[in-house]
Structure 1
Amino acid sequence: MWNIFNPRLSYSQIYLTPYIKPAEKHQKTALKKRPKLEIITYKKDSIMRNMGLRKYPWLITILGLIFFWKILINPGKMIYWSFSDITLYHSPMKFIIHRAFNTQGTVPLWNPYIFGGTSLAANPQAGLFYPLNIFFLLSSPDQLFGYLAVLHIILGGLAMYFLARNIGLEKYPSFISALVFMFSGQLISYIYEGHFIFLNAVWIPLAFLAYDKAIINQDIKYASITGAILALQLFSGGIQLVFYTVILLFLWTLYNMKKKGLYILAVALLIFLGLSAIQAVPTYELLENSRRGIGFSDPMSYSQPLSHIIGLVMPYFYGNIFQYWGGGDFLGIFGYAGIIPLVIAAFSLCARKNRYVRFFIFLSIFAIVLAFGGPLREVIYRLPGFNSFRAHGRILLLHTFSISILAGFGSKELVRRIRVGGARGDALKICFALSIFLLAYILVYYKYTKLAMEKDLLLNIFLFYFLILSFVLAATVFSKYPHKTRLFKAVLVLLIIYNLWLYGMPLINVGDPATIYRGNELLDFLSANAGSNRVYATNYHDLPQQITMRRGIQSLGGVLEPFILNRYSTFMEAAGNYTFEGVSNSIPPWQVYSQRKTYPVASLLGLLNTRYVVTRYPLNNPDFPLAERFNSTYVYENLRFLPRAFVVHDAVYASDGSEALSLIQTMDPASVVVLETDIWLKLAPPIYNETVTIFSYTPNEIVVHANLSNPGVLVLSEMWYPGWKAYDNGRETDVLRADYTLRGVYLDEGPHEVRFIYRPASLKFGALVSVVTLLLIFYIGREALQLRG
């Protein structure tokens, strides 16, 4: 038995090495043969060990490149879907950052092109502090999104591989875990939808790997690494996935029941908060000033309906992206980790005594219950933290993560059973159970009458059973030939790849940026005539921000913005002449324009420097003469629009925002400013014509030249927001909240150069905390190295 317990032998050798059974325990011939056999095996093992260490990571990389072949063979094109967040939001955002950096030599911290202006530095979706986003500064951003997806999916696969190796799996099972995770339906669907959640998700395996080491070794070094990985998650543009990752680490801490487990978690979270402060502090400030900071009236909105649980085994049960009939939004392969990986993961039950297997079975069930779990879900979603987010179906990423690990353990057990010829019966039992579940579901929900729907359903059933039968056939055949284990491993990999690529690869498409962002006659007209003035559309689809931002057109509207300023949203309800209760990511909310016509108020839009209004119906308002018409789209000029900067010499004072908004609607904003301050200003009417001009305008700085005959208030039609500083002839002065949502500065008579600069104290404080935390990590690392030495 010395051969079996030799520490140099791998798991595969124990089962694959031919065993010579001696006739008697002390038979000399047997003793002579064993050392010779062991020596030959060890030489082979040495070669395979070195090859195996490199083979699977290379395979993961190569398969990742093959999967994204459309991106790699089209270097001039971008990853594309017409309603993708990349197309509509991230690409124009990265475009203006790239343009500002290359034309002005600075990174813009403020975005003046949508919603009347909003903070870029405070918006985590902008990803200003994510290290890999530096490439967007240096190269054309459109093409980089595809390469970013390729890089992160491969990174996610490698991270899962090394995590599986760390928790005790051999190379092949770890490779299986990597394949399931990196090509899982949820990760690929996020790329298709353009959600940067796929950037956050690939860091989950590394976070768990570092934290597991911290728990086992009670080592704050690994706890610090965990905190750094969580910070990278936040920097990549996601808060919700960070929250779910922390939930994962907390559950793992409780499961291990270590005395110092909570201490390790506390260290990791402190490091995370410290490193991420440069983003977290400005984001918190933005949250406090946004409508989202009020909270969601229904945190369960955009979550998974219970009926969509069938998507875990049959992703296109309710149709596809072109023909969807399942109710709500198309969720597609959301949460789908593959039917073959699911069957393989079921074999991990044979190793249920393993603490990792037990935990990930629990975690998978936990995620499914939260995503689909009815009454229990309703209770949990009201808890602190959970009630700050919507679309809690995203927690299925923890299910995908769990199934990936369990598939690794399951493949290990499956291969072992193939060797002893016992896999066929187990495979049949598992597949039979899945088939019963599917048939029962179809009987309960079979309400389909249209022929196209029936065909789509039948096609999905066919694919389901084709994959199931392929697996059963492979298990049956190779159970009869246990010496063909290597071939079975290859077949199993091919089945997994076929299963996941069948659903995932069609979602990866590319398009030509020149065609995607081409524009139309309406946008050409506004580019030529709007100048530096703003525009507004009663339907934001008429002014697509992905094109207006590229052309430098400043719009009052926008879409897909998670943090719209609360006062701005309220002001736009009055200016747009609509009401909306709740949180929306667009102006005007789609729930408004899709249900009724709205007739905007000229004076309030004019206060925001709005020169043109775009509608799909006549306004019949003398303040809005028709300027141009393009088919069914009307362009009206606002006769009451005010310049971006102007001076008034009369003020009224409001006790709060509600009173200020009411006063604005009853006064002429061109002659009276509404202020919310306890300091009464000394104002006097002008003696002669005064001049106010914008000398320079950049995202981070606006310079205004003014010459006043008497004291007045300079009103700048830009959003009031903490962090904007004003300097009058070089001296800092207060930025007043003017007309409910704008900026104002008190000026004496005479010439003035007023410089508005965006220098948020929240960003400075956050940066200081992050630097101090980084120095602390270096200190901890140095001390650890000295102790090791």
Structure 2
Amino acid sequence: MKKNFTYPDTLLPFIMIAGAVTLYFSGILFTDRTFFIGDLYTQFYPWKDFARNSLQSGTVPFWNPYVFSGVPFIADVQKGIMYPPGIVFLLFDFPIALKIYLVVHFIIAGFSAYVLARALGCDPAPAFAAALIFIFNSFFASKINNLAALGSASFLPAILYTFKVFIDRKKATFFILGSALLALSFLAGHYRTYINNLLFCLLFGIYYISFYGKGFRITRLLKLFIFLASALVMSLIITMPQSGLFFELLFNSAASVIPDYETLAVNSMKFINLFTMSAPPHAGYASLSGWSGYSRGINLFLSATFFFLLVISAFRKKNHLFYFSFIVFILALLLALGKNTPLHSFILKFAPFFTEARFPGTALSLLMLPAGLIAANSLSVLSEPDTGKKSEKVFLKYLLYFLLLIPALLALFNRQASAAFGLDNISMIELTKASLFVLAMYSLNFTLYTLFNKKLIRPAIYHALLIALIFCELYTFMSRTNPVTAQSGIFGPQFTPKTAELIRTSSYKYGHIQLPEAGSVYRLNYVTRSEKNFKLSLPSSSGMTYGLFDAFGQNDLKLLNYTRFVNRLNRDDGYNSDIINLLNLKYIISPVELDSKKYEKIFNKNSIKVFKNEKAYPLFFVSQDTKIPKMLISQISWSRKNEHQFGNLKVNVTNGQEGWLIFCNSQYPGWTAYVDNMSAKIEPAFGLYMGLKLQPGVHEILLNYTPENYTYYKILFSLIFIFCLVLGVVKLISLKR
């Protein structure tokens, strides 16, 4: 293995990676088709559409009134408003911007993974294999539905490479570059992946100072901690004002409260799911439920050829890079297994921020790069025939015999296996298919291995065939796992669902009650059927696209006061109708029948029912009290400067007696009010909303939202920018001399 690498010795691997990415996305790049996956339609499309419309109208989208009774918009880093590559969503329509965004990030990830592998001593072919596994493994590929997680994860190899070079050369340029890349990982929007990237940088740094340079010393370890802490601080400072606004939102959100352990570990990977590393679920066809398992980290597919290489590596010479990669690989798996291992609960006690509520599988972001490096090492040690031990060949042969028995055993002992694994009949059939797939791929790999050892295949050809098998497996199953459909039928206001047309209003909200997973894209086998049920039900944040105000929504960063308020909705005897009314729920979407005495059914199609609630409170009303709503007679009209200016409202009120103007919008720091040109104090109302004390008469009220510390964050960023600019000029002058 070569140990010195400073620049690409050939462009061929980069051309091949770009070609592989182009082939992978050929189903959408050269057609009018696009991906139709949960979060793309229900979150990222509405968010990008909202941001684009707001900015094009000259409005900075500080506030989003469409979900959770109002929530900060630009402060949420998941929206990616300040992420530089995200500008494509402002310049192009969403389907085109999505294609550009995906291809660019897959290429960035592939190129940087290859460069890192080469820098760590891998030869070109193994480094190329490492890049393919990194970008086409099931966890990374399924992040097509989560643009924030994809963006954050794609920069990890580049961050590690720049930090490695900084440790080697001690040049500030690489420290600044690494911090900038870390900042991009944060701005991409998935702060959990950003935290995982920081953890990987720490583990990689400890490994690197232990085996390179002067070896491990306490002083080098202390310098590493200082270096990483400085890089972290630098990355957060240069991302101002985004980082400042985000941490304000984070501390005011429900995510600041650690839930019970069962909630944290509800979607833990099961041990049986480890089998999916070498055999994809539903190996015979593309499946939406298969994608859901990949995206949540419940399933993981790295290819059967990877499994074969991993087995061989147990008998061959291994370097310290392999051992480091294998340790991180196992650590990530143990975290993804969640409640099924004691490690998950142990780590939660000391570092709860390393886990994500409901999805322990996000730890698999730590596994992708080590998996590629493990494969690279295994390919490297397969450079010459007959170098393996005799025990290696014997083990591989008996493992083949064992794999031959598995399908037969599953068929003969179907009931016993079903009870042991907790699987239904359909899942057992899929497990049998998967075992046949593993058997076929292992047999092919074993045949090539045998021919290679008999010197019937040259080493270069053998490497090429193994890499081709890895890519073919990942391409065949991963490219088909993410469902696609005609983009003209999904994105755009011209295809407004009938339910959206029916419930459009500016003074009330809609919401879902008892919406089952059957109404979700995850459980639907056909895109055409999902278009009917999924779009009609207006799930998650999709109502934003049609100008609808959702009392609920879907996002981990909902405000803490909102979460506590909504928790009062459920009662043992049903739903709390007072909370439903106070949430402005004029329209209720439900798959089940509701009390006809309270709610009028106005729509019923494809198991989606819409009910009208005549007792819902409007967006603005005058109440006698802020503890218990007692509506007083008043006349209210309101307006905003333009269609997309939701943080600047003018309200005209005529009330006959003293009371409180209730603004059914979540109270959050940064809102200010003026009553008849006089500054007025905003008081909390009903534990969620905003209230203004009014005397009898005619009033003009101005409500404005600007993030509380936004100006200070901008000043801090400007000072840092000027400082870095001066340093750059000084550097240029010194170079000239």
TM-score (norm 1): 0.77
Counterpart Cα distance in 2 of 1:55 and 1:713: 70
Give the corresponding residue for 1:507.
481
Q: Is the 8 A contact 2:51 2:81 kept in 1?
A: no
- CA deviation string 1:647-699 (max 9, x = no partner): 34x446xxxxxxxxxx42xxx4313xxxxxxxxxxxxxxxxx86431022632
1:396 aligns with 2:348: no
Residue from 653, 663, 666 that aligns with 1:716: 663
Residue from 224, 244, 249 that aligns with 1:286: 249
Superposed, which structure 2 residues align to 1:590-629 within 5 Å? 598-601=574-577, 603-620=578-595, 622=597, 624-625=599-600
Counterpart Cα distance in 1 of 2:281 and 2:127: 28
Residue from 376, 379, 386 that aligns with 1:408: 376
Give the corresponding residue for 1:486.
460
1:727 aligns with 2:690: no
For this pair of structures, how many residues does the alignment match? Answer: 683
Counterpart Cα distance in 1 of 2:392 and 2:718: 54
Counterpart Cα distance in 2 of 1:197 and 1:743: 34
Residue from 523, 528, 536 that aligns with 2:500: 523
1:552 aligns with 2:552: no
1:563 aligns with 2:557: yes
Q: Is the 8 A contact 2:315 2:389 kept in 1?
A: no
Deviation of residue 552 (structure 1)? 0.9
Q: Which amino acid aligns with 2:199?
A: I
Q: Is the 8 A contact 2:297 2:362 kept in 1?
A: no
**Using a 3 Å threshold, how does the CA distance of structure 1 residues 712 and 330 change in structure 2: closer, same or farther?**
closer
Counterpart Cα distance in 1 of 2:401 and 2:705: 62
Deviation of residue 456 (structure 1)? 2.9
Superposed, which structure 2 residues align to 1:312-323 within 5 Å? 312-316=277-281, 322=287
Three-state SS of the structure 2 residue aligned to 1:761 is: coil
Superposed, which structure 2 residues align to 1:241-320 within 5 Å? 241-255=193-207, 256=209, 257=216, 258-259=220-221, 260-298=223-261, 299-316=264-281
Give the corresponding residue for 1:189.
142
Give the corresponding residue for 1:582.
none
Q: Which amino acid aligns with 1:669?
A: K
Counterpart Cα distance in 2 of 1:669 and 1:429: 82
Counterpart Cα distance in 2 of 1:398 and 1:430: 30
Give the corresponding residue for 1:468.
442
Q: Is the 8 A contact 2:278 2:306 kept in 1?
A: no
For structure 1, the residue ranges without an aligned partner over 5 or more in a row are 1-9, 13-48, 580-596, 653-662, 672-688
Asked which structure has the greater CA Rg, the reply is 1
**Using a 3 Å threshold, how does the CA distance of structure 1 residues 288 and 318 change in structure 2: closer, same or farther?**
farther
Deviation of residue 157 (structure 1)? 0.6
**Using a 3 Å threshold, how does the CA distance of structure 1 residues 625 and 457 change in structure 2: closer, same or farther?**
closer
Deviation of residue 206 (structure 1)? 0.9
Q: Is the 8 A contact 1:319 1:453 kept in 2?
A: no
Deviation of residue 401 (structure 1)? 0.8
Give the corresponding residue for 1:138.
91
Counterpart Cα distance in 2 of 1:292 and 1:748: 39
**Using a 3 Å threshold, how does the CA distance of structure 1 residues 176 and 774 change in structure 2: closer, same or farther?**
farther
For structure 2, the residue ranges without an aligned partner over 5 or more in a row are 210-215, 520-536
**Using a 3 Å threshold, how does the CA distance of structure 1 residues 388 and 401 change in structure 2: closer, same or farther?**
closer
Counterpart Cα distance in 1 of 2:51 and 2:391: 56
Q: Is the 8 A contact 1:712 1:748 kept in 2?
A: yes
Three-state SS of the structure 2 residue aligned to 1:447 is: helix
Counterpart Cα distance in 1 of 2:481 and 2:355: 30
Moved more, 204-213 or 357-366: 357-366
- CA deviation string 1:413-433 (max 9, x = no partner): 222x14xx5469687467458
Give the corresponding residue for 2:533.
none
**Using a 3 Å threshold, how does the CA distance of structure 1 residues 618 and 503 change in structure 2: closer, same or farther?**
closer
1:124 aligns with 2:70: no
Three-state SS of the structure 1 residue aligned to 2:350 is: coil
**Using a 3 Å threshold, how does the CA distance of structure 1 residues 729 and 382 change in structure 2: closer, same or farther?**
same
Counterpart Cα distance in 2 of 1:767 and 1:618: 51
Superposed, which structure 2 residues align to 1:93-242 within 5 Å? 93-102=47-56, 104-191=57-144, 193-194=145-146, 196-242=148-194
Give the corresponding residue for 1:18.
none
1:536 aligns with 2:511: yes
Q: Which amino acid aligns with 2:365?
A: L
Q: Which amino acid aligns with 1:137?
A: L
Counterpart Cα distance in 2 of 1:148 and 1:188: 13
Aligned-residue identity in percent: 22
Three-state SS of the structure 1 residue aligned to 2:661 is: strand
**Using a 3 Å threshold, how does the CA distance of structure 1 residues 437 and 324 change in structure 2: closer, same or farther?**
farther
- CA deviation string 1:334-363 (max 9, x = no partner): 332222234335666688664433322222
Q: Is the 8 A contact 1:70 1:509 kept in 2?
A: no
Q: Is the 8 A contact 1:113 1:554 kept in 2?
A: yes
1:70 aligns with 2:27: yes
Deviation of residue 712 (structure 1)? 4.7
Give the corresponding residue for 1:6.
none
Deviation of residue 487 (structure 1)? 2.8
TM-score (norm 2): 0.82
Q: Is the 8 A contact 1:611 1:638 kept in 2?
A: yes
- CA deviation string 1:160-197 (max 9, x = no partner): 01111222223222212112212112211232x54642
Give the corresponding residue for 1:578.
571
Deviation of residue 240 (structure 1)? 1.2
Q: Which amino acid aligns with 1:550?
A: T
Counterpart Cα distance in 1 of 2:705 and 2:402: 58
Counterpart Cα distance in 1 of 2:73 and 2:126: 43
Q: Is the 8 A contact 1:628 1:636 kept in 2?
A: yes
Superposed, which structure 2 residues align to 1:27-106 within 5 Å? 53-74=10-31, 76-81=32-37, 84-102=38-56, 104-106=57-59
**Structure with greater contact order relative to length (CA < 8 Å, sep ≥ 6):** 2
Instruction: Give the aligned CA root-mean-square deviation in angstroms.
Output: 3.7
Residue from 694, 697, 701 that aligns with 2:638: 694
Give the corresponding residue for 2:524.
none
**Using a 3 Å threshold, how does the CA distance of structure 1 residues 120 and 313 change in structure 2: closer, same or farther?**
same
**Using a 3 Å threshold, how does the CA distance of structure 1 residues 502 and 642 change in structure 2: closer, same or farther?**
closer
Q: Which amino acid aligns with 1:492?
A: L
Deviation of residue 437 (structure 1)? 8.4
Q: Is the 8 A contact 2:305 2:469 kept in 1?
A: yes
- CA deviation string 1:301-337 (max 9, x = no partner): 3222233222223332899875979999996883322
**Using a 3 Å threshold, how does the CA distance of structure 1 residues 379 and 452 change in structure 2: closer, same or farther?**
closer
Three-state SS of the structure 2 residue aligned to 1:381 is: helix
Three-state SS of the structure 1 residue aligned to 2:66 is: coil
Q: Which amino acid aligns with 1:180?
A: I
**Using a 3 Å threshold, how does the CA distance of structure 1 residues 544 and 362 change in structure 2: closer, same or farther?**
closer
Residue from 670, 694, 712 that aligns with 2:631: 670
- CA deviation string 1:260-301 (max 9, x = no partner): 222211221111222234333222222222222211211323
**Using a 3 Å threshold, how does the CA distance of structure 1 residues 275 and 719 change in structure 2: closer, same or farther?**
same
Moved more, 65-74 or 491-500: 491-500
Three-state SS of the structure 2 residue aligned to 1:155 is: helix
Deviation of residue 522 (structure 1)? 3.2
Counterpart Cα distance in 2 of 1:437 and 1:768: 66
Residue from 335, 340, 349 that aligns with 1:370: 335
Counterpart Cα distance in 2 of 1:699 and 1:323: 36
Counterpart Cα distance in 2 of 1:755 and 1:371: 50
Counterpart Cα distance in 1 of 2:85 and 2:242: 15
Q: Which amino acid aligns with 1:384?
A: A
Deviation of residue 233 (structure 1)? 1.5
- CA deviation string 1:467-515 (max 9, x = no partner): 2222232233344448834333332322221222232121143213443
